[in-house]
Chain A
């Protein structure tokens, strides 16, 4: 149920039908609550495994109430307490083993609940925004089954705007058709493309760590680097496609989480397009406040530009360590933070060197953009090694070929990614420029029906042939 499976989609569709029996907020909320509780009941092996999650939700609700009543006075304490309990429940490996709970319990969705709870606590305590939230609405928002597993991280006011509206977002046949197409696309991405790419990645990893000729290993290393980002994209964005479409059928508009991330021409731009709701959350609650605080305290003009670089590093380092509780994710954080901070420094130094106008002209240059895109992809691919591999695997991977060979492979990856992504962008622009009166032909109704049918049939055939459970969603474990 907690994956991009047919069962999950059928469950979501059944709930969407039930939800549309009435447009009243009370009915839709009751259905959503029932569905979310049922979903949790289905994924929990025993009711007792839900207790820590329930405790965390209760703590969050108390925190929200305290913030609403006392403003910012207790906010730092409340936020710290929630953060510590979260780290404890997630069993971060830097904590001593003996302080953890001894029984197995459900942590599914804990990270996403954590973001929602913190957002509510912080906003409830601020002067300008004080959403009054009942316990029912709080639970409805935090355990919403469409967003609990892997997001997207929706803001409460946006959730409330649709969920409690007297006139919820419209749902006509055109919209329903688009959502079905999106569900099929999501199923195809996760269960066909993602599954194939995951198999390729696992096969390649085995090939790299077995006694094989150097030439075979070089190609394996090259493939290993290229495959994982595409797999992760298919796996995560496919699941997000499904939940956004299911939620829309329930008259909720979830925020988008991806915007063609591999088209990004810089690492800064990449994080505006990949897991958008996470990076937006961190920019709102970490980057902006920390930059403001530093700028108030450090007034030295020469240092000022570097404060942003520092805050970028901290923010995207946190993105990394949020993903997991082991030291590998700390490196993933450093590589992400380093990538973003390095990118900002590069922009600053080029602006100093070329002047604002000169830099603008360079940044608009097609060749510069293409190489930037290739480098962004390569850096992300490099960083993700610490995302998917353990230290043991990393040791085996990086010792499988020599240093010079690895450098050659990375250079080849950069150049190949530059070429492939440039060709893809060119092709996409050409295809999109072919327009009818309704817009681009390839986004038209008939084109969508054709490729949704092809993707749907392919998904069904592969599913029938392999007869295996749907692949797990990588972001589910975070």
Chain B
């Protein structure tokens, strides 16, 4: 009954408004994220069995899709768009040793590369963006317009920075044209 009341309260406009106000503090947001379920899952330095299973399932599915794509001479490009919690931690630059915002990113990269895909690693770039979490809605956690703009810019950097050789050549041509 207590948890039902809590869930009901959590969905009210007043609760969202209050959470929004509280989460405008980066440190409060990080404390809440690290005290919540996310801390024990994809933000932990050691992923829990549930997340390990998810990655295992992802690898199976990705290997199958990548094999079929390879037959058609298509390479699959994968990008992990960070969560607000990851963006906040990476942007701040420090966290307790039991956490690692790069862990999921690193594991995903290994899986994709191992199976012949191209992994666009945009997460480390959030380190150089001050208050990167401001590009996400505080309570909802999805990127807002600014956040999408940041993601788009980082994707362009990665795509034209050597991940796709053809696009890299295109960039060089464009640079010369300028």
Contact = CB atoms under 8 A, between A and B. Distances in A.
A465 B27 contact: no
A465 B28 contact: no
A202 B18 contact: no
Nearest to B35: A468
Contacts of B146: none
B31 interface: yes
Given A211-B130, A461-B18, A462-B22, A467 B27 contact: no
A182 B19 CA distance: 27
Given A206-B92, A210-B130, A465 B25 contact: no
Given A199-B25, A199-B27, A462-B22, A467 B32 contact: yes
Contacts of A212: 130
Contact of A465 (B19, B26, B92): B19
A200 interface: yes
Interface residues on A, range: 10 to 19
Contacts of B28: 195, 199, 466
B174 interface: no
A257 B35 CA distance: 32
Contacts of A467: 32, 35-36
Contacts, number: 45
Interface residues on B, range: 10 to 19
Interface in A145-187: none
Classify the interface of chain A: helix, strand, loop or mixed.
Answer: helix
Contact of A468 (B15, B25, B32): B32
A99 interface: no
A409 B22 CA distance: 27
Contacts of A469: 35
Interface in A186-218: 195-196, 198-200, 202-203, 206, 210-212
Interface in A205-264: 206, 210-212
A465 B35 contact: no
Interface in A457-477: 461-462, 464-469
B18 A206 contact: no
B57 interface: no
A322 B25 CA distance: 33
A195 B19 CA distance: 14
A464 B9 contact: yes
Contacts of B6: 464
Contacts of B130: 210-212
Contact of B18 (A199, A200, A465, A468): A465
Interface in B10-34: 10, 15, 18-19, 22, 25-28, 31-32
The 7 closest A-B pairs by CB, nearest first: A468-B35, A199-B25, A202-B27, A199-B28, A199-B27, A466-B32, A203-B25
Interface of B: 6, 9-10, 15, 18-19, 22, 25-28, 31-32, 35-36, 92, 130
27 contacts: A195-B28, A198-B27, A199-B25, A199-B27, A199-B31, A200-B25, A203-B25, A203-B26, A206-B26, A210-B130, A461-B9, A461-B15, A461-B18, A464-B6, A464-B9, A464-B10, A465-B10, A465-B15, A465-B18, A465-B19, A465-B22, A466-B22, A466-B28, A467-B36, A468-B31, A468-B36, A469-B35
Given A196-B25, A203-B25, 17 more contacts: A198-B27, A199-B27, A199-B28, A200-B25, A202-B27, A206-B27, A210-B130, A461-B15, A462-B22, A464-B10, A465-B10, A465-B19, A465-B22, A466-B22, A466-B32, A467-B36, A469-B35
